[in-house]
Structure 1
Amino acid sequence: MPFQRIEAEKLSHSVQRQIEMLILRGILRPGERLPSERELSERLGVSRPSLREAIADLQDRGLLATRAGAGIYVADVLGSAFSPALIRLFGSHPEAVFDYVAFRRDMEALAAERAAQFASDTDLKVIDTVFRKMEAAHSKRNPADEADLDAQFHMAIIEASHNVIMLHMMRSMFDLLREGVFYNRSVMFKQRTTRDLLLDHHRAINDAIQARDGEAARAAIRHHLTYVEEDLHRQQKAEANEQIAKLRYNHERER
């Protein structure tokens, strides 16, 4: 008969699976510090030797990393998504910016539709909470804060789509955006008219998701990122015009 004896699972394996799940679901993020060994063993209800065995295995597999004198951290599992050479290439070729926006438009439209359909009530509260923070930052006129919350809002939607492949892929993309590889988001939030429009866009996205209207959520994302694309074109054109104007001005001064 094709039956095998059931063996009790080692506690260390249970610990591994729980930490793996938290990393896979994006709850534990790259660079996040784990609690101390004593605290973590108490939370999990396991002995320190079992915990150490689990941690050692996760380190061997590159999911956790030790920092001397600082504890155990979630490894930079996103770091291998793009090689340093490719990141430099993205930054030096303007056309990569528009490919990036087009990619986001397609992926995030799908994520917004999925979030409207599959998000839990708590997921919706998270998205709405980040949007309310965007409204508060808008009134304070802080472009840097608005730009950071903009990224948080979009990531909250992706997380609420409950697709782990999309989550990790898009998180790596947003990390590059935060580093200014593709474009400086803060520039978009410096003009009052643009800031007002962007807030309206995010309000429409939030309203559609809160109403669980997948079609409207998808359309709102596409409308927003099409505007971002057009604004980036305007920025590039304005920068090119300014360079020509400077050449003309310097020439006139030298005549």
Structure 2
Amino acid sequence: MSNKVQVPRISDAVAASLERRILEGSLKPGDRLAPERELAAEFGVSRPSLREAIQKLASKGMVQSKQGGGTYVTDSLNSTFFDPWRDMLGNHPNLREDMLEFRHMLEGQAASWAAERATDADLQRLEQTFSALRDAFASDDTEKRSAADIAFHQAIGDAAHNALLGHMSAALLRLMHDNIRLNLGELKGIPAASSLLMSQHESIYKAIAERKPQAARAAAETHIDFVRETLAQSLRSAARRETAERRLNTEFSPSLSV
């Protein structure tokens, strides 16, 4: 048996470091890697070794070079989950309830872990996303509200410091982007819904900032429960209105008159 110590290749070590940044969310889908010269200097390696490391990641589908220059992080870790469910969500509206039920479980745990594990940088990001969310809810722009809502919840998912949960949260929120926008649009028509939603988000934010895991979980679950129940009521009201309108149109249709 050989007693030789296996020394890792420089390119393998660099590839592993970059891969770790992608897994932990420091490098997100769409992010451009720093220029080759800067990265080589940061890692203290030669440019050929850096190129070899990047090629290793490219062979895994984690990064790709784009025409015009630059290497970018792909969404390969999320797309395998996202693509088939996006079509099914559009074709089967009842999946909205299942998605909200799953969010109840996922986001309750994420908020609890975030309250335990968030770093100062995580809390700073959470404060920024909460402030942006508050500004968005002060406007009447549903698209702006939706984007701010997603950013806030993703900040919580990242602050949980669980790579799998962070990527699953990103995939789920990306999947539900149109659904969240639709939910917020429907909730806008319900009196006091906006102020209640903002109050719920504030409760989640404060519980995490104050390092209260149980309170953070409860606040996140309460928020999702409110959305589920309020949307259910809204959809039932819409169904009743449609039924009443059909009856009215049928009763007064000229073709049915005596």
Structure 2 length normalisation: TM-score? 0.88
Gaps of 5+ in 2: none
The one-letter amino acid of 1:5's match is V
Q: 1:97·1:183 contact (CA, 8 Å) conserved in 2? A: no
The one-letter amino acid of 2:56's match is D
CA shift, 1:67, in A, is 2.2
1:25 alignment partner in structure 2: 24
Q: 2:186·2:234 contact (CA, 8 Å) conserved in 1? A: no
Question: Root-mean-square deviation (CA), in Å?
Answer: 2.3
Structure-1 separation of matches of 2:70 and 2:242: 50
The one-letter amino acid of 2:219's match is A
2:188 alignment partner in structure 1: 190
Q: 1:41 to 1:157 in 2, by over 3 A?
A: same
The one-letter amino acid of 1:62's match is G
- Equivalenced residues, count: 252
1:174 alignment partner in structure 2: 173
The one-letter amino acid of 1:79's match is S
**Could you report, residue by residue, the CA deviation over 1:75-109 in whole angstroms, capped at 9, with x for unpaired residues?**
2221111443x432222223211111111111111
The one-letter amino acid of 1:168's match is H
Structure-2 separation of matches of 1:58 and 1:187: 40
Q: 1:127·1:206 contact (CA, 8 Å) conserved in 2? A: yes
1:87 alignment partner in structure 2: 86
**Could you report, residue by residue, the CA deviation over 1:103-160 in whole angstroms, capped at 9, with x for unpaired residues?**
1111111111111112122212221221122222223333322221111111111111
2:39 alignment partner in structure 1: 40
Structure-2 separation of matches of 1:253 and 1:37: 73
The one-letter amino acid of 2:130's match is F
Q: 1:201 to 1:4 in 2, by over 3 A?
A: same
**Could you report, residue by residue, the CA deviation over 1:216-245 in whole angstroms, capped at 9, with x for unpaired residues?**
111111111000101221232233233324
1:130 alignment partner in structure 2: 129
Kindly indicate whether residue 67 of structure 2 is the aligned counterpart of residue 68 of structure 1: yes
Give 4+ residue runs of structure 1 displaced > 4 Å after superposition: none
Matched residue of 1:184: which SS? helix
Structure-2 separation of matches of 1:189 and 1:145: 15
CA shift, 1:165, in A, is 1.0
Structure 1 length normalisation: TM-score? 0.89
Q: 2:143·2:181 contact (CA, 8 Å) conserved in 1? A: no
Q: 1:201·1:224 contact (CA, 8 Å) conserved in 2? A: yes
Gaps of 5+ in 1: none
